[in-house]
Structure 1
Amino acid sequence: MDEELLLRQQLTGLLKGGFAPNVILLREFSYDKCGVILDGLHFSAWILLGHIRARQQSLLKFMQDPQNNQDVWPDAHWPDNYQPETREEWDNAIDEYNRELEKVIEIVNNPETPIFKVQANGETISWAAMTILHHTGYHIGQLKTIGRQLGVW
């Protein structure tokens, strides 16, 4: 098998969350508990989702148009509101996260995408994909821990 194709396939699996798909974990998280901030933390599941999405969006923009989106690591966005207004807002945010993730995966899987080409900022499309999976994985781990503390799982 071609090494580049293998890398694209491996990135796709990891972007989805590997053995614990991120979208499934988010959908399992109870809306009634997504706004709870546990003692000692500065974030709820809702805040984590907003933060994950903001970083994914900036990296997706870079992946879609690297020449015009060089600022791939802007200041961290942490939503001000700790909980969504409605269950629909929570569900829509998860849906949007999934749509954005599918766009990332589409770019990674496109054989025309030059995933190793070094851009003017010194980064590559493969770096952006790995950064998304690493950043998301870190915060999904936090979300999973919060969920366990709150009795979601």
Structure 2
Amino acid sequence: MTSNLSTDTLLRKQLAELLHGGFAPNVILLREFHHDKAGILLDGLHFSAWVLLGHMQARQQTLLQFMKSPEQHPAIWPEAHWPQNHTPQSEQEWNQAIDRFEYELNEMIALVLDPKNDLFRVHSNGKTLSWAAMTALHHNGYHIGQLKTMGRQLGVW
């Protein structure tokens, strides 16, 4: 069976689907997590759900900045940002952080879907937009898995 979609279009659509989180959409899982449990540190972990969200958002933002302006933002893997505060101050702060994460994720997806953006052009730092997008989906997926496990232990799901 042949597809009417070009390889480029198909790749962009699949990459966008995976950035959303595939079968476990990132933003839906974050919104389901109870804000009152977001600051709990489980035994053996050095982070709470709040810290994970801050870490994911910071890394995603760095990769997004590179994708928006590769030559102005070549530093794509600085020291990992781990927020020091383990608890959101309020439900509003938790929801605003999720909103910010979602907004930036949607910006990244729009860049991936835009055929004017060459996903495979190698920039001065040796990286491509496709590399940045795949790194974001891998990084977010890894930490969403941790968040899901934490949520199960905390009775969120």
Same fold (TM over 0.5): yes
State the 1:30 CA deviation. Answer: 0.5
Pick the aligned partner of 2:14 from 10, 18, 24: 10
Tell me the residue number matched to 1:77.
81
Alignment gaps of 5+ in structure 1: none
Tell me the residue number matched to 2:120.
116
Letter in 1 for 2:85: N
- 1:1-150 equivalences under 5 Å are 1-150=5-154
Report how many residues are paired: 153
Structure 2 SS opposite 1:67: coil
Letter in 2 for 1:9: K
Letter in 1 for 2:103: R
Letter in 2 for 1:135: H
Letter in 1 for 2:67: M
State the 1:20 CA deviation. Answer: 1.0
List per-residue Cα deviations over 1:99-125 (Å, max 9, x = no partner): 000000010000100111000010000
What is the percent sequence identity of the aligned residues?
A: 61
Aligned CA RMSD, in angstroms, stands at 0.4
Q: Name the CA distance, whole Å, in 1 between partners of 2:109 and 2:90.
A: 29
Alignment gaps of 5+ in structure 2: none
Letter in 2 for 1:79: P
Letter in 1 for 2:15: L
Q: Hey, which bits of structure 1, 4+ residues long, moved more than 2 A?
A: none
Q: Name the CA distance, whole Å, in 1 between partners of 2:48 and 2:11.
A: 34
Letter in 1 for 2:89: E
Q: Name the CA distance, whole Å, in 2 between partners of 1:116 and 1:6.
A: 15
State the 1:77 CA deviation. Answer: 0.1
Q: Name the CA distance, whole Å, in 2 between partners of 1:64 and 1:41.
A: 34
Q: Which moved more, 1:1-10 or 1:143-152?
A: 1-10
State the 1:4 CA deviation. Answer: 1.0
Structure 2 SS opposite 1:66: coil
